[in-house]
Amino acid sequence: MQTTKDMTSFLTERLLRYCAVDTQSDAASTTRPSTECQLVLLRMLVDELHELGITDACLTEYGAVLATIPSNVKHTVPTIAFVAHVDTAPSFKATGVKPLLHKEWDGADIVLPDNPELVLSAEAFPLLAGKQGEDIVTASGTTLLGADDKAGIAVIMGVVLWLREHPDVPHGDIRVCFTPDEEIGEGVTDELVRDLACDFAYTIDGEDPGTLTYESFSADKAIITFEGVSIHTGSAKDKLVNALFLAAKFINTLPQNRLTPETTSGYEGFIFADELSGNAAECSLEMNLRHFELDGLEEQRELIREACVLIGKTEPRAKITCEFAEQYRNMRYWLENDMRPVEIAREAFEEVGLQVVEEPIRGGTDGSLLTEKGIPTPNIFCGMQNVHGPYEWVSIQDMEKAMQVCVLLSQKWAHQ
């Protein structure tokens, strides 16, 4: 299939509309979704699906949008789902996003107008160099853009429109799913897996065109609590034990030259100091543990335990405790038992004219948890780049390629 000028306009208009809606999630929240603002976009998506003729579109009580494009073939085929998340990362400002369209980008440096010191250039970002003449969308310089994963949402909405306008394209039941709170690991619940009611799924939540992912990190969170000795600073000599200093010593004890995100790549794992909260009397340090293999994750846990013991020995008056919480596991552990969704995706990529790039995602997606909970879910690109920060950008033409892949996948599953 070839997308039309109207479809390019559709994807552009939807992306700009979605990115302008604040949907930042909040890990400290006890509600689901974690933020009320996510519901604004979720309700908008339900209305848009109804406008496109998808009559069963609904917002669930746990904050996901579910809908069905009914099968148009007489024989029984697997039900597949396309999944994207509405929330944006809490790691950078995401309120008041001003998405900017640089139509038929001429290759010149893109100065972000609300912070002119920030410049997107082909020299600094080599992938951008190949996008001259394409339609590039950025933020304005003070926020992230939110193409992670609103580009994925727009792609899926494009698939809905295309299949509704081309009833001659054969496909089975296709489930549409928009989740909240993916960025904080809370998007996939047991209720969602039950209600999604599909055999296989694809998250549309990746970067470079041609990227097909069926390996993700396995992830744990470590929470280390430091209890010091609190006393007035005026009479603190030989009495005060500053919990914040202990936390700083703990961080410095770890081998930072080989165990942090900025010093690792490929299949190397890392430990990331994510958040420090509290005061001199007591503070809590949250750390993200990431590795592709479970034995590597256990080595990281042991390193944390040893560091706690070491710092405790330097100050016996302090109390240091450590807890670990499982977050998600490498989707490969399950997908390697049934590679059909990966194999069919490979075929679709190649038929669209894309060189397939199979590489692990150095993070996790909703697909990690969906796969673990019984729905094999590899991840497909949607073109987003430099996510979680002000340099984020996406090419509309890359989104079109992702849409073409999804439409072709719908056809290919109809022959299974």
Catalytic residues: 87, 182
Q: At residue 260, what are phi and psi to the nearest 5 degrees?
A: -115, 160
State both tokens at 244.
């914040």
Please, what's the b/e burial string for 341-367 (b: 16 or more CB within 10 A of its CB; e: otherwise)? bbebbbebbeebebeeeeebbbbbbbb
Q: Are 188 and 333 in contact (CB under 8 A)?
A: no
The answer to whether the beta carbons of residues 386 and 126 sit under 8 Å apart is: no
Q: How far apart are CA 158 and CA 128, in angstroms?
A: 24
| Three-state helix/strand/coil letters over 145-163 | CCHHHHHHHHHHHHHHHHH
Query: For 87-139, where are the alpha helices, taking DSSP H only?
Result: 126-129
Residues 6+ apart with CB under 8 A from 359: 211, 213, 215
List Cβ neighbours of 74 (8 Å cut-off, separation of 6 or more): none
